[in-house]
């Protein structure tokens, strides 16, 4: 922190004045509450709509209206190559090469596709390790994948839980569990940031341990991409999937993101379920037998680009291009730190912050655990114009997004909480 933090509106406003990213806020639409902008701290669930999005959608509507099928080649952003627009901005956000990243489908679908490509269980090595309390969709995906291969979830899934009386996992325990299970472990799948606790795992260390154990390392980065910088290529991560509707502001159900390490992306023989959009563009329209994968991550594309499910993300990434993930994260650390500082001033509400204290072990989200009355307090927050979400059991997740939230938002949140 560049100065002593203070629980005052003047201080928060001064922080906003000094914020190099302060102009970005005006590029977003805020929901309203009693004639004022609501305090929107729910970008961990659904990011705000950027103002450039309606124009971008209108452009595609116009090209469809006027060019119809000609839009595949002659639209302002030709639909045939629409996915090309994402490789560069996403490679910078995810920390990988352009040929390692693509957009397609949605997160859970992509997780299934990646598991089909990377989970090749044998009699000896067939287990998947994940964090206990992983996002339910991931749990269902893994449960049904192991069954699909003829294994029993009780035996084939290893869940790593925090120690008794602790709410977060210790990295050493994860590494130790990977080493202990190396004889039977086929794949390690972690949520990069656990959706409930907000804990950011050490992806590099987990990947290295998985590889040492002869296992694949894959991650669900739904709460990471656009929030915390990653170096997926340098960390040697095998695959990752994420959604685009949280910190990437791509809109509800927006197209998902996929990363596959170059060593697989370039391997056109790598196992996958294919469709014509993943076929070499030069031969795609020859309509011939025999799939020839594109020699990059887009070789995993299956169907025609879903332009209307991608356009908002494209527009939103243009805003990311005006800054970078490192600057966003630098602001986020200050902002989340300020939120934490203010929460520590509150004595009228009984809660525990279960998210790790260390800035490098979390992103923009702080999870407040209420032993009692969490739901009622959440309702009172919502009634007072604070938009945050509640997750059973007992957690209110509070996530100031550095792209559009101000320090004043953080202070107003604290003031309202003080009066509850
Ligand atoms: C961590 C995590 N994984 C998976 C999902 C499911 O994503 P989708 O519904 O896009 O498949 C979500 C949705 O919020 C999530 O937060």
Interval between CA 312 and ligand 1 midpoint (Å): 18
Helix (H, G, I), strand (E, B) or coil at 209: helix
State residue 202 phi and psi, 5-degree precision.
Answer: -80, 90
8 Å CB contact between 243 and 106: yes
Question: Which of 137, 242, 251 has most ligand 1 atoms within 8 Å of its beta carbon, as the pocket-test mutant?
Answer: 137
Q: Ligand 1 within 6 A of 46 CB?
A: no
Range(s) of the chain covered by CATH 3.40.640.10: 59-320
What are residue 40's phi and psi, to 5 degrees?
A: -100, 100
Task: Say what percent of the chain tops pLDDT 70.
Answer: 99
Average pLDDT along the chain: 97
Q: Is 195 in the pocket of ligand 1 (CB under 6 A)?
A: yes
Which pLDDT score, from 0 to 100, does residue 281 have?
87
CB 110 within 8 A of CB 124: no
Residue 234: pLDDT band (50, 70, 90) is very high
Rounded Cα–Cα distance for residues 215 and 229 (Å): 24
- For ligand 1, whether the C-beta of 139 sits within 6 Å is no
With a 6 Å cutoff on the Cβ, whether 106 touches ligand 1 is: yes
Q: How confident is the model at residue 165 (pLDDT cuts 50, 70, 90)?
A: confident
pLDDT in tens, 264-318: 999 999 999 999 999 998 888 888 899 999 999 999 999 999 999 999 999 999 9
Q: Whose CA is nearest to atom 13 of ligand 1?
A: 222
- DSSP 3-state assignment of 4? coil
Q: With 90 as the cut, is the pLDDT of residue 248 above it?
A: yes
Q: Indicate which atom in ligand 1 lies nearest the CA of residue 194.
A: 1
CA–centroid distance, 222 to ligand 1, in Å, is 6
Using a 6 Å cutoff on CB, does residue 242 contact ligand 1? Answer: no
Percentage of residues in the chain with pLDDT exceeding 90?
95
Distance CA 168, CA 152 (A): 27
CA of 217 to the centre of ligand 1 (A): 19
What is the third-level CATH fold of 9-30+324-419? 3.90.1150
- Taking Cα atoms as reference points, which of 103, 117, 104, 93 lies closest to residue 192? 93
Average pLDDT over residues 20-35: 97
Comparing CA positions, the residue from 354, 374, 395 lying closest to residue 162 is 354
Q: How far apart are CA 203 and CA 16, in angstroms?
A: 32
Q: What is the mean pLDDT of residues 380-395?
A: 96
Q: Start-end ranges of CATH 3.90.1150.10 in the chain?
A: 9-30+324-419
φ, ψ of residue 354 in degrees (nearest 5): -90, -10
Residue 364 CB–ligand 1 contact under 6 Å: no
DSSP 266-319: T-TTS-----GGGB-HHHHTT--SS--B-SSGGGG--SS--GGGTHHHHHHHHH
The response to whether residue 196 sits with its C-beta less than 6 Å from ligand 1 reads no
59-320: CATH number = 3.40.640.10
Residues 6+ apart with CB under 8 A from 329: 227, 228, 229, 402
Q: Is the pLDDT of residue 1 over 90?
A: no
Taking the centre of ligand 1 as the mean of its atom positions, its distance from the CA of residue 34, in whole angstroms, is: 32
- Asked if pLDDT for residue 2 goes beyond 60, the answer is no
pLDDT band, residue 88 (cuts 50/70/90): very high
CA distance 137 to 204: 24
């Amino acid at each position: 922190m560049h100065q002593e933090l203070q629980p005052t509106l003047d201080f928060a406003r001064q922080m906003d004045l000094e914020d190099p990213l302060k102009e970005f806020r005006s590029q977003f639409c805020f929901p309203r509450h009693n004639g004022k902008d609501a305090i929107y701290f729910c970008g961990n669930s659904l990011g705000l709509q950027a103002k450039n999005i309606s124009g971008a959608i209108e452009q595609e509507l116009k090209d469809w209206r006027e060019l119809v099928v000609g839009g595949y080649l002659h639209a302002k952003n030709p639909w045939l190559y629409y996915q090309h627009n994402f490789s560069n901005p996403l490679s910078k956000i995810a920390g990988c090469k352009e040929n390692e990243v693509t957009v397609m489908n949605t997160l859970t679908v992509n997780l299934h596709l990646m598991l089909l490509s990377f989970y090749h269980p044998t009699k000896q090595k067939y287990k998947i390790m994940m964090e206990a309390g992983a996002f339910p969709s991931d749990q269902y995906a893994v449960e049904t994948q192991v069954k699909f291969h003829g294994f029993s979830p009780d035996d084939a899934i290893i869940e790593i839980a925090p120690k008794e009386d602790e709410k977060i996992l210790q990295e050493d325990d994860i590494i130790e569990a990977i080493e202990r299970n190396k004889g039977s472990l086929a794949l390690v799948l972690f949520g990069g940031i656990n959706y409930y606790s907000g804990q950011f795992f050490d992806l590099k260390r987990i990947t290295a341990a998985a590889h040492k154990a002869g296992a694949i390392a894959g991650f669900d980065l739904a709460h990471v991409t656009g929030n915390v910088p990653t170096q997926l290529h340098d960390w040697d991560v095998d695959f990752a999937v994420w959604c685009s509707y949280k910190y990437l502001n791509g809109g509800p159900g927006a197209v998902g993101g996929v990363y596959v390490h170059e060593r697989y992306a370039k391997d056109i023989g790598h196992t996958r379920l294919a469709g014509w959009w993943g076929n070499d563009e030069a031969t795609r329209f020859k309509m011939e037998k025999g799939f020839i994968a594109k020699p990059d991550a887009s070789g995993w594309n299956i169907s025609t680009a879903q332009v209307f499910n991608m356009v908002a993300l494209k527009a939103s990434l243009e805003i990311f291009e005006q800054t970078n993930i490192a600057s966003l994260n630098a602001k986020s650390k200050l902002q989340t730190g300020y939120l934490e500082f203010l929460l520590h001033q509150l004595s009228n509400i009984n809660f525990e912050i279960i998210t790790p204290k260390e800035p490098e072990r979390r992103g923009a989200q702080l999870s407040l655990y209420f032993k009692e009355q969490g739901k009622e307090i959440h309702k009172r927050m919502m009634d007072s114009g604070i938009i945050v979400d509640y997750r059973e059991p007992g957690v209110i997740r509070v996530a100031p997004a550095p792209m559009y939230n101000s320090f004043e938002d953080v202070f107003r949140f604290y003031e309202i909480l003080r009066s509850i």
